[in-house]
Structure 1
Amino acid sequence: MNEDIENKDSCCSDKSCESNKEPKFSRKSDFLIGGMDCSSCALTIENHMKTLPSIKSVSVNFSTGKMIAEYDNSVEEIIKEVSKSGYKATLVSSKRKSAQKKDNSGTNLIILSGVLLLFGFLGSYTNVSPNFTILLYAISIIIGGYKPARSTYYAVKSRSLDMNVLMTAAVLGAVAIGEWLEGATVVWLFALGNVLQTKSIEKTRNSIRGLIDLAPPEAFVKNGQELVRKPVEEISVGDVIVVKPGDKIPLDGLVIGGESSVNQAPITGESIPVDKHPGDGVYAGTINEQGSLEIEVTKLVDDTTISKIIHLVEEAQEQKAPTEAFVDKFARIYTPIVFVLALVVMVLPPLAGIGSWGGWFYKGLELLVVACPCALVISTPVAIVSAIGNAAKNGVLIKGGAYLEIAGRISMIAFDKTGTLTEGKPKVAQVVLTGSSEEELLAIAQTLEEYSTHPIAKAVAQYAKDKDVPVSHGDKFRNIVGKGVSAIIGDSEYFAGNLKLFEELNTSLGELGSRILSLQQEGNTIVIVGTKEKILGVIAVADAIRDTSVKALKGLQAANVNQVVMLTGDNEGTAKKVATITGVNRYFAELLPEDKVKTIKQLQEEGNLVAMVGDGINDAPALATANLGIAMGGAGTDMVMETADIVLMADNLEKLPHTVKLSRKAIRIIKQNIWFSLIVKGLALMLIFPDLLTLWIAVISDTGAALIVILNSMRLLKVKG
């Protein structure tokens, strides 16, 4: 690159060469494309752009309304080339992405074209000259049909048989046989349908673009004792920002001052605000509800959780689902076949002496209009975009249409236990006393366990603190590896530990032995507290089951997922207890990570389409083996967001039933759309030959069906979480 610059500088020293001094280099940009209402439109733009030598690579996606291009000319030239295809391109800003501005020019042209069509129609019933009426129709056709005609030119040039080509051919044919009213009506209805479709689809596309506006563009940065308002792009990691009550948090960070409750629903979908204290993490786009917070920024604006969500969702929307890919292939075969059939209908019957040239030519024009597979092609992608957008707003990332379809068909869900169905943190479940009071027992237990870092010890100490039990004074603390701890409290030596410790101390358990065995079989870890001579009591510690897990499993049953399985490395007793409380159908205990993979394969061999739900990297093998991998707690770890097929952003299963329900409704709507589109096309084809179909009715059947399909798909945006 440096050599290129030096060579150009050496040969371009005067002003006449100044424009050539900059070396050519490729850049990659995202563009929003306005006016696309069918995937054939995307193909036309793509084919046209590929003919340009300055374009290195280009991909146009109808579902998201975006074009990704790698090029070595200017942005203005890219936008100009897209406009030649009949569409409008807008560069997506690298800093603050925004939706396209409203363009009413198309609507105004439709109104003008419609008024001229109406005047021409009324004029045909008065004494107005027929030539003047034809002139009004002709002007109406030119105004309403200019954009489709221009798009037709570039579609034909790029060898793409899209709806603009078919409609333009039909209109020219109508004019050729003197059907000016039919031609003008076709143009106006086609243009009107396009505008309505475009506006509807843009609402769907903006369901994701709306996420961009969740995080504010500016923040108050603490500079000494002053607060300085800055754009978020100018804020660095380590800066301290201040967020007042009621304001949105502009960047990801850690709370270093103040306490408040934060509404995290925009990111995680959680319905209840979460209390935040110093040391807790917060996310951009969430809402500070009560106290003022000082937050140390931990991520730049492009690296925040909300930015990653938007990026992953946009990538997901650009991936074709199996149904969508099949429909696209079908449409590519169907359209040229009907196009050729239209030409055959126009020529062969009259050559064979059957009927008139004009009659068969008109039937051929009707076939051209019916050949447009718009409703069919739109049937799947709009539904998928709507569903993925709805899920994202409810704190669920679905990584693509393929995973949405699988989620809609799963027959069994397998759950990891620890950290998924349970809290993953031990808590005191029961206290058994043998003569002493609970306060005395907890005071000694807290004194013994207070300085230990073991999770069980921390759970006991925390339980005592929550009960406001005072700490006793202890001396000569001793850690007994693998068994427990001891210390001198008062005049006696006290112990806290497992059954093995007290067996070695030869302490009599008495009737407590059977109770301890029973508690262990129920999945509890036992902490015995006492001296060598007597036992004060037993504290049973267990991994607490999440309330949200029980609700989620009931929600799954309501969504007709009746096969729910639990996989755990814990013992049989623990597994059975959790299974009973949560209501899972089957459980597999004492599994190593590789055993979980084998179990998933076993369940698949039984004929089940299996989804696996886990909370992190340790579940990665099982998540990958399942037909669908679902991870929760995505807001906390980037790795989880990247690996699973579906990510629940919250650290619980609250939104899992909504995900299944939404996916199943999406599958139903896609099927409805496909069948409706095929039936409408079939009826239109059957009505052509009995002369029951007119050209303008054929247009209504095409654009009307497409609009109904879009509106039906948009119902997915309204499904509540």
Structure 2
Amino acid sequence: MSNSLWHWRLSTPKRGKKTMENKHVYRLQGLSCANCAARFEKNVKSIATVKDAEVNFGAAKLTVIGEASIAELEKAGAFDGITVIPETERKEQKAAPFWKKKTNVLAAVSALFLLSGFVAAHAVGETSLAAILLFATSILVGGYHLLKTGINNLVRLQFDMKTLMTIAIIGAACIGEWKEGAVVVFLFAISEALERYSMDTARRSIQRLMDIAPKKALVLRDGKEYEVDVKEVMVGDTILVKPGQKIAMDGVVIRGESSVNEAAITGEALPVAKTSGDEVYAGTLNAEGALEVRVTKRAEDSTIAKILHLVEEAQAERAPTQQFVDRFARYYTPAIMLIALLVAIVPPLWFDEQWLTWIYRGLTILVVGCPCALVISTPVAIVTAIGQAARQGVLIKGGAYLEEVGKLKAMAFDKTGTLTTGTPEVTGVYPVSHINEKQLLQIAAAIEKQSEHPLASAVLSKAEQWQLSVDGMEIREFRAMAGKGAAARVNGTMYYIGKPSLFSHLSLSETIHTKIETLQKQGNTVMLVGDETSVLGMIAVSDQLRPSAGKVLQALKKLGISQTVMLTGDNATTAHTFAADLPLADVRAELLPEEKLTAIHGLQKQFDRIAMVGDGVNDAPALAAANIGIAMGNTGTDVALETADIVLMGDDLEKLPYVIRLSRKTLRMIQQNVAIALSLKLLALLLIIPGWLALWMAIFADMGATLLVLLNSNLIFGTPFSFGGTI
């Protein structure tokens, strides 16, 4: 069961990821709003040679399945001035200053004509030709793109916020309210600029993750240094990293010693000592010593590149709240148009009221009903939260997981590598047969040489310490037995190493049983070594609790995670020895991978939602089955990145309370944003009926709602001034 589920998790596309051939990915510049993203996606899909397309608004990226030229794609986005750049193109994408952007310049020119119109209206009257021409020019300059898009939408019977604004502006002009129309255009331009600035800020904060990796590397060839582009560096090349430089590529240190600041990957500011054989990552900072590094991954496959890709994918994932808001907005816009129409025609037709007065109020409803703030309320909060988490060394793979983790009431933990450091050491070698300690350890090392289990590394490390080599031994027929141990034919004899239960078919002496119990009570994991007929001896291995484990579990309880459970494949005595120092509600030991899976299903029935925290390798079935799978990133980064919903890149358990607080804060923020957007609109609608709200005041109210939503979600995220509070 575990093997099949493990294969499924690695091979199945996650969350709708495009896996078809002929896929092309592009970065987008000029993408201004969520509605524009949806329309652009629809336009691209309508290209005859395109099979499918997907726009990631949060990351400003386009994925195309099929063939389409850059010109065709830019034509599809011409309505919003979208520029399309192939993702593989590493040319600098310099953002124009806020005041130099064409739309903002046009808004400023529009404002000048608007002010001139006010001066003319004061001097010669609002209905004078001079004032009307100035207001009309202000509308045309500032609202050209808006009106062009809105009219096209009307022709196609597509109704969005620009359609509402277009009807309102044209309607205002038709009833002689030129000043009102000009003010609406100007305030809408400001609102759009604020929204665009906010999303650009969020996107740039994510793009900086990629920019921290150097674009050039010093490659050593024939004893000489060559500076080359990282795209030209191949796996197996050796690069030189001097003190104070950033490491350009993922690799393994082959010469030199230094300390490296890995905050870009793990979020941990303290430097990590590196020497020969240690892994290093692109984008991390080499502190004091020169390092020679053998490259193990191409630039596009580096850990930092994968992190960026996963974060951008996460931003495209729609959280449940966002899905609800999107569905609501589809009905909301037509409903607002219907209400505006009824307000405009019912009082004059049935109650003999003034047509101009009620048409004006109907137009005001169209303006105040603009769904800008509502549509932006969720994605901007999700994008910002995921980006902030990434900078703290926590990868959250989508808004759905960000929401879900804040609702957890129970959390299960693997022991080895999760609650413990995951670097066990051999504490004793005990022969019980005719062989001595060195011979027993050498046989164990020969079996474990091909194993990837954490305990295998402890055996091999001890053998190296004792200067025992297995190079001259004939090792064949190795096989791993999930949850039990391993076996191999060494120099012609089949040997086994694993749990005592692996040897249950043999009659173990009372002495062996007593010794096993004694070692286990001391917190050791005991592995027996034997052949097909007898036990040759035992090896005791002990792990260490993470220093932060107890503190983290206490913090989780304070946050309402009432049930914390240890699920381990280790023996019960060892598990309970470790658990004695931790505030755990339950300990379940001696579990095979499929038994961990069963335990997760049982806990789900009991507590509804549960997270599983593991190392991303042997915990794969449980990680897949849990509502939220949380992997420790350093112990097998590639696997962790693939399998889990949340990854702690620095293996830092203290990030768990942080993620829960971040989730809850984001949920509060989204709720606040929706409440702000809807309550201000409802208030404005109530003020329109008695005629207390002018057309320009309606757009000001809408702009105010958008501004409050953006401030709450992004511009001051994480400061004491944010409505959501600090994390």
Interval of TM-score (by shorter of Structure 1 and Structure 2): 0.7 to 0.9
Structure 2 residue runs of 5 or longer lacking an equivalent are 1-20, 430-435, 449-453, 468-483, 485-499, 529-537, 720-724
**1:167 counterpart = 2:161:** no
Is residue 30–residue 67 contact of structure 1 (8 Å, CA) maintained in 2? yes
Q: 2:73 aligns with which of 70, 73, 78?
A: 78
Partner of 2:153: 155
| Residues 261 and 285 in structure 2, CA contact (< 8 A), matched pair in contact too | yes
Residues 61 and 461 of structure 1: CA distance in aligned 2, closer, same or farther (over 3 Å): closer
The SS at the match of 2:289 is: coil
Matched to 2:85, the amino acid is L
Q: How far apart, CA to CA, are the structure 1 residues paired with 2:389 and 2:595?
A: 32
**Corresponding residue for 1:36?**
32
Distance 1:187 1:298 in 2: 55
Corresponding residue number in structure 1 for 2:660: 660
What is the match of residue 700 of structure 2?
700
Is the 1:349–1:360 contact (alpha carbons within 8 Å) kept by the matching residues of 2? yes
CA contact (8 A) 2:258 2:290 kept: yes
Report SS of the residue matched to 2:123: coil
User: Secondary structure in 2 aligned to 1:31?
Assistant: strand
Going from structure 1 to structure 2, the CA distance change for 1:296 and 1:720 (only over 3 Å counts) comes to: farther
Distance 1:274 1:250, change over 3 A: same
Q: Does residue 1:410 correspond to 2:417, yes or no?
A: no
Closer, same or farther: CA 606–343 of 1 in aligned 2, 3 Å: same
Q: Distance in 2 between the 1:650 and 1:330 partners? A: 39
- From the superposition, tell whether residues 81 and 462 of structure 1 become closer, same or farther in structure 2 (CA, over 3 Å): closer
State the match for 1:131 in structure 2. Answer: 129
1:207 maps onto 2:205 in alignment: yes
Structure 1: how far apart are the matches of 2:333 and 2:122? 38
**Alignment partners' CA distance in 1, 2:665 and 2:297:** 37
Larger CA deviation: 182-191 vs 277-286: 277-286
Q: Which residue of 1 aligns with 2:81?
A: 87
Give, in whole Å, the separation in 1 of the partners of 2:457 and 2:181. 81
Q: Give the AA of the match of 2:60.
A: G
For 1:461 and 1:26, how far apart are their aligned partners in 2?
A: 46
Which of 102, 107, 115 is residue 118 of structure 1 equivalent to?
115
Shift of 1:505: 11
Q: Provide the C-alpha distance between the structure 1 equivalents of 2:147 and 2:406, rounded to a whole number of angstroms.
A: 41
Matched, 1:69 2:64: yes
In structure 2, what residue type is equivalent to 1:680? L
Q: 1:253 to 1:519 in 2, by over 3 A?
A: closer
How far the C-alpha of 1:272 sits from its partner, in A, is: 2.1
Matched ranges for 1:517-556 at <5 A? 520-525=520-525, 541-556=541-556
Task: Kindly state the Cα deviation for residue 540 of structure 1 after the two structures are TM-superposed.
Answer: 7.4
Matched, 1:571 2:568: no
> Is the partner of 2:400 in helix, strand or coil?
helix
C-alpha separation in 2, matches of 1:105 and 1:457: 63
**Residue identity opposite 2:597 in structure 1:** V
Aligned match of 2:350: 352
Moved more, 72-81 or 700-709: 72-81
SS of equivalent to 1:420:
helix
How many angstroms does 1:346 deviate by? 1.6
Once residues 585 and 92 of structure 2 are traced to their aligned partners in structure 1, the CA distance between those partners, rounded to angstroms, is 48
Residue 394 (structure 2) aligned to one of 387, 396, 409: 396
Partner in structure 1 of residue 7 of structure 2: none
1:195 to 193, 196, 208: 193
Q: Which amino acid aligns with 2:110?
A: S
Separation in structure 1 between the aligned mates of residue 526 and residue 65 of structure 2, nearest angstrom: 64
Q: CA deviation at 1:518?
A: 5.7
* Shift in alpha-carbon separation, 1:456–1:341, aligned structure 2, 3 A: closer
Q: 1:666 to 1:446 in 2, by over 3 A?
A: farther
Give the whole-Å Cα distance in 2 for the aligned partners of 1:464 and 1:622.
33
Q: Tell me which moved more, 95-104 or 338-347.
A: 95-104
Change (3 A) 1:299 1:465: closer
- Residues 348 and 414 of structure 1: CA distance in aligned 2, closer, same or farther (over 3 Å): same
What letter corresponds to residue 347 of structure 1 in structure 2?
I
Residue type at the aligned position of 1:60: V
Equivalent residue letter for 1:69: V
Which residue identity is paired with 1:339?
M
Moved more, 238-247 or 584-593: 584-593
1:8 aligns with: none
Residue 354 of structure 1 and its aligned partner are, at CA, apart by 2.9
Classify 1:587/1:335 alpha carbon distance in 2 versus 1 (closer, same or farther; 3 Å).
same
Equivalent residue runs for 1:353-372 within 5 Å: 353-372=351-370
| SS at 1:544 equivalent | coil
Q: Take 1:267 and 1:458, find their aligned partners in 2: how far apart are those partners?
A: 25
CA distance in 1, matches of 2:22, 2:625: 40
Structure 1 gaps of 5+ residues are: 1-24, 432-443, 472-481, 483-497, 529-537
Structure-2 separation of matches of 1:539 and 1:44: 65
Distance in structure 1 (CA, Å) of the matches to 2:308 and 2:456: 42
> Which residue identity does 2:24 align to in structure 1?
K
1:243 to 241, 244, 257: 241
Match in the other structure for 2:534: none
Return the alpha-carbon distance in structure 1 between the equivalents of residues 133 and 682 of structure 2.
36
Given the superposition, is the C-alpha separation of residues 592 and 46 from structure 1 closer, same or farther in structure 2, using an over 3 Å criterion? closer
SS of residue in 2 equivalent to 1:255: strand
8 Å CA contact 1:446–1:460 kept in 2: the answer is no
CA contact (8 A) 1:452 1:458 kept: no
Q: Is the 8 A contact 1:44 1:154 kept in 2?
A: no
Amino acid at match of 1:107: N
Amino acid at match of 2:201: K
Aligned equivalent of 1:3:
none
Q: Give the 3 Å change call, closer, same or farther, for CA 256–459 of structure 1 in structure 2.
A: closer
What TM-score results when the alignment is normalised by the length of structure 2?
A: 0.81
Q: What is the aligned residue count?
A: 641
Query: Identity percentage over the alignment?
Result: 46
Q: Is the 8 A contact 1:254 1:279 kept in 2?
A: yes
Residues 566 and 112 (structure 1), Cα distance of their counterparts in 2 relative to 1, 3 Å cut: same
Contact 1:420 1:652 in 2 (8 A): no
Give the drift of 1:463. 9.1
Aligned to 1:108: 105
The code of the aligned residue for 1:198 comes to R
Q: Per the alignment, do residues 356 and 588 of structure 1 end up closer, same or farther by CA in structure 2, a change over 3 Å counting?
A: same
Partners of 2:638 and 2:539 lie apart in 1 by: 38
Do the aligned partners of residues 366 and 462 (structure 1) sit closer, same or farther apart at CA in structure 2, a change above 3 Å counting?
same
CA gap 1:72/1:289 in 2 versus in 1, 3 angstroms:
same
How far off is 1:333 after superposition?
Answer: 0.5
Check the 8 A contact 2:58/2:312 in 1, yes or no.
no
Where do 1:304-315 residues align within 5 Å? 304-315=302-313
Measured in 2, the distance between the counterparts of 1:46 and 1:253 equals 39
Question: Contact conserved, 2:417 with 2:635, CA < 8 A, in 1?
Answer: no
- Equivalence map 1:177-188=2 (5 Å): 177-188=175-186
Q: Is the 8 Å Cα contact of residues 235 and 296 (structure 2) preserved in structure 1?
A: yes
Contact 1:218 1:232 in 2 (8 A): yes
Matched residues in 2 for 1:119 and 1:617: separation? 69
CA distance in 2, matches of 1:96, 1:281: 26
Shift of 1:73: 4.5
Contact 2:395 2:646 in 1 (8 A): yes
**Quick check: 1:593 aligned with 2:593?**
yes
1:532 — aligned with what? none
C-alpha contact 1:201 1:710 (8 A) present in aligned 2: no
Deviation at 1:580, TM superposition (A): 2.2
Kept in 2: contact 1:221–1:239 (CA 8 A): yes
SS in 2 for 1:126: helix
Aligned to 2:252: 254
Amino acid of the structure 2 residue aligned with 1:91: I
1:59 to 54, 76, 83: 54
1:651 matched to 2:646? The reply is no
Native 8 Å contact 1:265 1:395 kept in 2: yes
Give the letter aligned to residue 674 of structure 1.
Answer: V
* Residues 251 and 294, structure 2, Cα contact 8 Å, conserved in 1: yes
Structure number with larger C-alpha Rg: 1
Q: 1:328 aligns with which of 301, 326, 329?
A: 326
